[in-house]
Amino acid sequence: MIGAGIAVLTGIGAGLGIGIATSKATEAIARQPEAAGAINKALLLGCALAEATAIYGFVVALLMVIMK
| Number of folded domains that form the chain | 1
**Hey, is 32 helix, strand or coil?**
coil
Q: Are 60 and 5 in contact (CB under 8 A)?
A: no
pLDDT at 23: 95
Residue 20 pLDDT > 80, yes or no? yes
**Predicted TM-score (pTM) of this structure:** 0.76
56 in a structural domain: yes
Cβ neighbour number for residue 40 with a 10 Å cutoff: 12
Range(s) of the domain holding residue 27:
2-63
Higher-pLDDT residue of 33 and 6 is 33
Residue 6 pLDDT > 90, yes or no? no
The CATH number linked to 28 is 1.20.20.10
6 in a structural domain: yes
Residues 6+ apart with CB under 8 A from 8: 57, 58, 61
36 in a structural domain: yes
68 in a structural domain: no
* pLDDT tens by residue, 33-53: 999 999 999 999 999 998 998
Cβ neighbour number for residue 28 with a 10 Å cutoff: 16
